[in-house]
Amino acid sequence: MTSVKINPDLQKERDSCTFNTEELTNFFDAGDKYTRKRRELENKIFSIKELKDEIPDEYLSHKEKYENALRKAVLLLKALKKIGYSRNFEDVHKSSFRESIHTGIFKDGSPFMLQYSMFIPTLQGMADEEQKRRWLNRAMNFEIIGTYAQTELGHGTFIRGLETQAIYDEKTEEFILHSPTLTAYKWWPGGLAHTANYCIVMAQLIIKGKNHGMQPFIVQIRDEETHMPLPGIKVGEIGPKLTFSGVNNGFLGFEHVRIPRENMLMKYNQVLKDGTFKSNPNSKLTYGTMVYVRVTIVFGAATQLARAVTIAVRYSAVRRQSRPKPNEPEPQILDYATQQHKLFIGIATSHAYTLLAYWLWDIYTSFKKDLESGNLDRLPELHSLTCVLKVVSSKDCTRLVEQCRMSCGGHGFMMSSSLPQIYGLATAACTYEGENTVLLLQTARSMVKALDQATKGKPLSPTMAYLGERSVTTKWENSVDGIVKSFQKVSIGKLRAAVSSLKQYERSGLSPEDAWNKSSVQLISAAEAHGRAVVMSVYKSEIDKYASTVSTGLKTVLYQLVELYAIYMVLQKMGDMLLYGNLTEADVTVLQRRYEELLELLRPNAVGLVDAFDFRDEVLSSTLGSYDGFAYERLMEEAMKSPLNAEPVNQSFEKYMKPLMKGKL
């Protein structure tokens, strides 16, 4: 099997595509220059033999998976160094999000992930100049390997509840790090188990019995020569997880571990020798990082979905099944409207969240400039906006990744399809970096405030401005712009209903906290509706913005997708639309019909659309989704890599089965 040959069913699809897929790829990469750059890097890295797995990871033991991931992580660094590639943490371009070499090499995460994503950025953001000189360069050169430890066994999203203590001893000018309980053990940090020798530890700073809140401390946890855990450090791994087998997540406990005063990261808040605590309001500047992380989560959700839908659409083009018309061959399953219904929304949703992430990125960069000039005004809005967008992107993409998996029938259940792993990676984002329900409640809190402000005639932040609009009982409008407005009406309607319930509970004698809790099911639903209103509106306005810059062929299909997305969401949220958006039964019939028409219009371009995501086979890593479309051949090829298949008879036969069969048990 050479990859020059293409499955004719797939070739036929490519031949009949009506737009230029390369143009769409360039659009995603934010310019053809970046497409070229990305492909050059991919060509170099993916041609390195040592980075390919002879035996797929899924066959290995948990321990072997870690060892293999670490081996590849080190070899990858070496290769990147050799080709002169350096990851610039401070000047990230939009196109950086599209880098796929890590996904292609670590199907299930790398033990160095936190070095890049948290250890170095935290040093950059929170260490003072002296501290940077001590640790930052060493970290950039991988002379030390670090991670970031915040979450504990007993607490996650609720940060104030964290228990690890850093008690200042002014006599020795040291902090004493201590885990007073089992639940105070750090739990989850990537790379912490057996990889990192340094760690940024978030702990409650206590000076002379007074708690000064969570502060960051840099702690050496293992000897640099022997890698043995240092005295008083209890460190190890937390065991297997749904995914991220290569990440080496660990636990960490302290038994009165002393570190010098200079190991608290002191760019903002400081502890002087005598124990004086100097707090700096600019410490809020570090919230910029949080916004950045959420942009990457939105983009990541869109990317995992794009991978899943690429696999599912290609497989649906080569899979043939059933015979609705007796004298015709079995159709490609992509011809079934029910299959199109499962998949095309995946393409549209991935577009929506990609554009949203880029939009959010532009906001973030302008916000960073504000921050640098000390202006924190937009922080609350950005906080509640990124909360809800993190929630809806992770939630929708997870659901649709799973829909893609299930659309591939039994074969989607095979690990070699990569769909189960993609699901694991996608769903994790619903929990990490702020649990989704907790984040929705935070957005709800600011919506309730905004409604109150509006009532008092005060101005609202741009993304919540619509909440202040008087409800007008305008007629339903069956256009995408009309649908954008109706999403806003739904958000307003649900917020008002929730607030009315909240007030009723308060009037009935409940405390504000209990009334809030009783109404919280409605409040999170209102917050989600706000998120959907933002996504719908940004998706449409971004497409409008770019429409004039692309060719007619591409423009047509981009608008078909945004319309499909709008109608799909209306039909999904029909109840809300009927209650608050003035939708009628007649409109539903019209929309349903138009939806069915759009499925048909998009059908010939489905393969082109997923090709345009431009994932190399190494990045998809899927028997079902390879570019050449030889799904069945690849399923068999992968199965033959099983160590179980290396022997015709497994040792268990003589040991257990034969005695059983011979009645000798």
Among positions 197-256, residues that touch its own copies (CB under 8 A) are: 224, 226-229, 236-243, 251
Q: What is the Cα–Cα distance from 293 to 278, expressed in whole angstroms?
A: 28
Compare residues 226 and 373 and give the one whose CB is closer to its own copies.
Answer: 226
Q: What is the Cα–Cα distance from 124 to 115, expressed in whole angstroms?
A: 12
Compare residues 148 and 185 and give the one whose CB is closer to its own copies.
Answer: 185
CB of 441 to its own copies, least distance (A): 7
Query: By CB under 8 A, is residue 124 in contact with its own copies?
Result: no
Hey, which residues between 600 and 619 contact its own copies (CB under 8 A)?
Answer: 600
Hey, which residues between 252 and 291 contact its own copies (CB under 8 A)?
Answer: none
Asked whether the beta carbons of 296 and 286 are under 8 A apart, the reply is no
Hey, which residues between 295 and 334 contact its own copies (CB under 8 A)?
Answer: 320-325, 330
From the list 354, 427, 446, 626, which residue makes contact with its own copies (rule: CB under 8 A)? 427
Q: List, in order, residues 6 or more apart from 437 with CB less than 8 Å away.
A: 524
From the list 1, 230, 590, 639, which residue makes contact with its own copies (rule: CB under 8 A)? 639
DSSP β-bridge partners for residue 63: none
Helix/strand/coil for 663: coil
Q: What is the Cα–Cα distance from 497 to 282, expressed in whole angstroms?
A: 38
Compare residues 69 and 264 and give the one whose CB is closer to its own copies.
Answer: 69
From the list 1, 230, 521, 590, which residue makes contact with its own copies (rule: CB under 8 A)? 521
CB of 642 to its own copies, least distance (A): 5
Hey, which residues between 29 and 58 contact its own copies (CB under 8 A)?
Answer: 56, 58
Choose the binding region for its own copies from 45-53, 122-130, 420-428, 527-535 (rule: CB under 8 A).
420-428
From the list 185, 292, 367, 615, which residue makes contact with its own copies (rule: CB under 8 A)? 185
433 is catalytic: yes
What angle is formed at CA 88 by the lines to CA 87 and CA 89, rounded to 5 degrees? 110
CB of 551 to its own copies, least distance (A): 30
Asked whether the beta carbons of 417 and 624 are under 8 A apart, the reply is yes
Compare residues 485 and 573 and give the one whose CB is closer to its own copies.
Answer: 573
Query: By CB under 8 A, is residue 462 in contact with its own copies?
Result: no
From the list 131, 151, 179, 488, which residue makes contact with its own copies (rule: CB under 8 A)? 151
Compare residues 104 and 412 and give the one whose CB is closer to its own copies.
Answer: 412
Hey, which residues between 640 and 659 contact its own copies (CB under 8 A)?
Answer: 640-645, 648-653, 655-659
Amino acid at 112: F
Hey, which residues between 465 and 494 contact its own copies (CB under 8 A)?
Answer: none
Compare residues 455 and 652 and give the one whose CB is closer to its own copies.
Answer: 652
Burial code (b: 16+ CB inside 10 Å, e: under 16) for 399-418 equals: bbbbbbbebbeebbebebbb
Asked whether the beta carbons of 547 and 559 are under 8 A apart, the reply is yes
Q: What is the Cα–Cα distance from 120 to 132, expressed in whole angstroms?
A: 10
Q: What is the Cα–Cα distance from 113 to 526, expressed in whole angstroms?
A: 35
Distances from the Cα of 281 to the Cαs of 54, 273, 383, 449, in angstroms?
53, 21, 17, 24
Binding mask 55-74 toward its own copies (x if CB under 8 A, else -) reads -x-xxxxxxx-xx--xx--x
Hey, which residues between 489 and 518 contact its own copies (CB under 8 A)?
Answer: 497, 501, 511, 513, 516-518
- Total residues at interface with its own copies (CB under 8 A): 143
Hey, which residues between 331 and 390 contact its own copies (CB under 8 A)?
Answer: 335-339, 341-342
Q: What is the Cα–Cα distance from 573 to 565, expressed in whole angstroms?
A: 12
Of the residues 99, 173, 237, 433, which is catalytic? 433
Q: Which of 281, 332, 221, 371 is nearest to 607 (CA)?
A: 332
Compare residues 230 and 465 and give the one whose CB is closer to its own copies.
Answer: 230
Query: By CB under 8 A, is residue 663 in contact with its own copies?
Result: yes
Query: By CB under 8 A, is residue 163 in contact with its own copies?
Result: no
Q: What is the Cα–Cα distance from 118 to 220, expressed in whole angstroms?
A: 16
Helix/strand/coil for 500: helix
From the list 141, 276, 279, 479, which residue makes contact with its own copies (rule: CB under 8 A)? 141
Helix/strand/coil for 173: coil
CB of 375 to its own copies, least distance (A): 31
Quickly list DSSP for 181-206. SGGGSEE--TTTTTT-SEEEEEEEEE
Q: Which of 89, 104, 462 is nearest to 296 (CA)?
A: 89
Query: By CB under 8 A, is residue 161 in contact with its own copies?
Result: yes
Q: What is the Cα–Cα distance from 95 to 582, expressed in whole angstroms?
A: 41
Query: By CB under 8 A, is residue 156 in contact with its own copies?
Result: yes
Compare residues 185 and 299 and give the one whose CB is closer to its own copies.
Answer: 185
Query: By CB under 8 A, is residue 77 in contact with its own copies?
Result: yes
Q: What is the Cα–Cα distance from 572 to 565, expressed in whole angstroms?
A: 10
Hey, which residues between 544 and 573 contact its own copies (CB under 8 A)?
Answer: 573
What angle is formed at CA 186 by the lines to CA 224 and CA 175, rounded to 5 degrees? 65
Compare residues 371 and 426 and give the one whose CB is closer to its own copies.
Answer: 426
Query: By CB under 8 A, is residue 434 in contact with its own copies?
Result: no
Choose the binding region for its own copies from 42-50, 268-276, 308-316, 402-410 (rule: CB under 8 A).
402-410
CA dihedral 563, 566, 571, 575 (to 10 degrees): -150
Query: By CB under 8 A, is residue 84 in contact with its own copies?
Result: no
Compare residues 181 and 551 and give the one whose CB is closer to its own copies.
Answer: 181
Give just the sign of the alpha carbon dihedral 192, 198, 202, 207. Answer: positive
CB of 576 to its own copies, least distance (A): 8
Distances from the Cα of 276 to the Cαs of 169, 208, 271, 297, 510, in angstroms?
12, 10, 6, 38, 42
* Residues annotated as part of the active site: 433
